[in-house]
Chains A and B, each alone.
Chain A
Amino acid sequence: MQGLLSFDQAPPFTAPLRFFLSAPVFALLAGLILVWDGPSLLASRWTPGALAVTHLLTVGFMLQAMLGALIQVLPVVAGVNLAQPLAISRWLHVALSGGAVLLSSGFYFASASLLITGGIVLGVSVLGFLVVVVPPLSRTPSTSPTIRGLKMAMSGLFGVAALGVVLALAVANGWSIPLLSLTDLHASWGFAAWGGILLAAMAYVVVPMFQLTPGYPARLSWWYPGLLLAGVVLASLSVWFEVPGIGQLAQGMLSFLGIAFCAFTMHLQLKRRRARADTTFRYWQLGLACTIFALFLSLTATFWPALAEYNELPLLLGVLLIVGGFVPLIVGMLYKIIPFLAWLHLQNLGGGKLPAPAMHKILGEKEMNGQMGSHALALVFLLGAVLLPELARVAGLLFVMANLLLLWNLSRASWRYRQQSKLMREQLAQL
């Protein structure tokens, strides 16, 4: 019931849009750091530059886009209405952006005070989001695998943020805790329990919706988020009780589950019934292929110690999962969500008296395709740079370019929306 009415109560466009527009800025900053530092950044996953870039992308880009999208999507898919979506978006956006900059600066300049401040600001932002979202979400009955997945993703978000805060404080204060295994665990919570579950829950809805594919099988999609969460909990127990064997098993299980999900989604997408392969479809194929490749490497490394000890492996996995996997999947969705929301809000503004421009007038296929090509090129060079660090600066430049284009595309869509709504208001006033 709530969900039905929520169509009217969709949050104002500026609530999610601010997150979407600032996400590329953080990716842009990450690219600039790579250009500035050059090959030395890629010496290991622990260099100050690599840590800063990782968090600019995961917090500044990914988390930003994910939470912004949730504010929009929760009323539609779960019937969860937030009391003050615009007010929540405002403070969350400022806090997340500030936290991402502080934390990344803390890593980059090896500053304990910046690390602590950044960690705490981000911890408080995530906690604030959870305090607002979890009570209404938990009151919603789990009538679909998506709602159930969203609930589980919230525990994943709590886990990754809590571990992140502990790690930031530990590094800053020199606490003696097992940094290596806790960092790996932090990544598992982030990629599997938060990102993976959220992605699956959203894919159940958007893959059939955008591409007219058959749906995911009901029973599998019901159990999948729980299996991911169980894998991450198992990995956590192995760290807590210091039983690395179980940790390896859990990592293997998570990689396998991820591969299975991506492969199945690709299979569904091949059965799509739309007239053409659009940018979103291509971005998803890229994202799914890279994730499968990353998880295949990770799975192989679990059983083949020589690969696990390969120094470049973590960087390779990071580039594949983030720049090759999550970012393309997210941008692919943004390229549908932003034009659709623009159309929807304009349509509501016109109130049946004035027509609203369809999605392709807000953001054209050519603009999106060009940006995707530039992202794919940057990805190839980034992967190359992990193996041949001399390519680092070129890769960084190409990545900056791809994100400038993304920022340009999204800003232009937002500008066209504003122009059009101004025009329509004037026309309505004259009616």
Chain B
Amino acid sequence: MKKIIILGAGTAGTIMLNKLRKALPRDEWTITIIDQHRTHYYQPGFLFIPFGIYNREDVIKPKADFFPPGVNVIFDETDKIHPEESSILMKDGTVHKYDYLIIATGTQTRPEETPGLKGDLWYKEIFDFYTIEGAMALREYFKRWEGGHLVMNIAEVPYKCPVAPLEFVFLADDYFTKIGIRNKVKISYVTPMSGAFTKPRATKMLSGLLEEKNIDVIPDFYLESVDNEKKVIRSYDEREISFDVLTIVPVNMGSEIIERSNMGDDLFFVPTDKHTLRSEQYENIFVLGDAANIPTSKAGSVAHFAADILFENLLSAIEGRELHAKFDGHANCYIETGGGKGSLIDFNYETEPLPGTFPLPGIGPFGLLKNTRMNHYGKVMFRWIYWHILLKGKEMPIDPLMSMAGKCKNC
């Protein structure tokens, strides 16, 4: 029997597991999935929890509900990968050999990388919304908050779901307006990038929203430390911004398994061929989703599109053929903008988000870089699609490679 191991049972690993089990004969291939956690989180939903739109129950289900029959499931802690020996060492000393490995260990927030961030105010007046714990703690805080300075800060790039902090400030504006204290809340968006928007078309189409919603943008702010006593964030060039409540995207890094295995770059993302999705170093290792260092967004949509390409290439590798499928970095993201509206972006390695329409058979079209109710419904519907179609690796009416249909280059 030949063996495939999938390391990580998040969005990427689960999609891959379903695709592979369907395609590979059970009498020739055993497929094993390894993860230390048993709960699957619908992570796009975390964003809605602080505002009471979703509850914990809306975003969690058992991982095992999404595994097909006929696979080995190991819920246990991995120590490291031994790529030279094609094996995985578990924390309890067990060794699992593989013929092919798919790394889908994702990205993690590492608040401890920033001095002072995980200090006295952590989950009291400083919150992340990239974990269920952070999102729930922020929900409790917002229930009682009477106003002040809300600072949304991004500590480092890259990070998971690049539009999430923007969506967060849009939803915050909406929420504080609805509960009647928007006039007592100042909202600042503090980013290490040159602005909240950095691509020409998106800037032109969407940056007006920030002004309209009275959100201050403070660009080029690269976080060095958090001072819990003075309640300020401090940058490397010694600027200070004071806050009453700080919501933060902590430094993102790859898994500690990658770190311990010495297989990552300086942020512990795995060097991966951006077209074939095979490891740069090892011929029998492929990398899917946020764990890879490929230069596109860390997002579920990318993992979903890339899964089709990786699947093709893995089958080619198994049959000794050349890896002919080429990933283009395709990403597709809804952007909640508050007030029951949303925007949509669709892009890849080469093409920035462009305006136009996004055709989706049976459901769309949606408006690209436009602010519409239809786009918001798309985001709302997506949770159902995620649980019932996407994770199970079923076919969706959307091509893995980006299409120019509906997009306008010169708008």
* A, B assembled together: no
Residues of B whose CB lies within 8 Å of any CB of A are: none
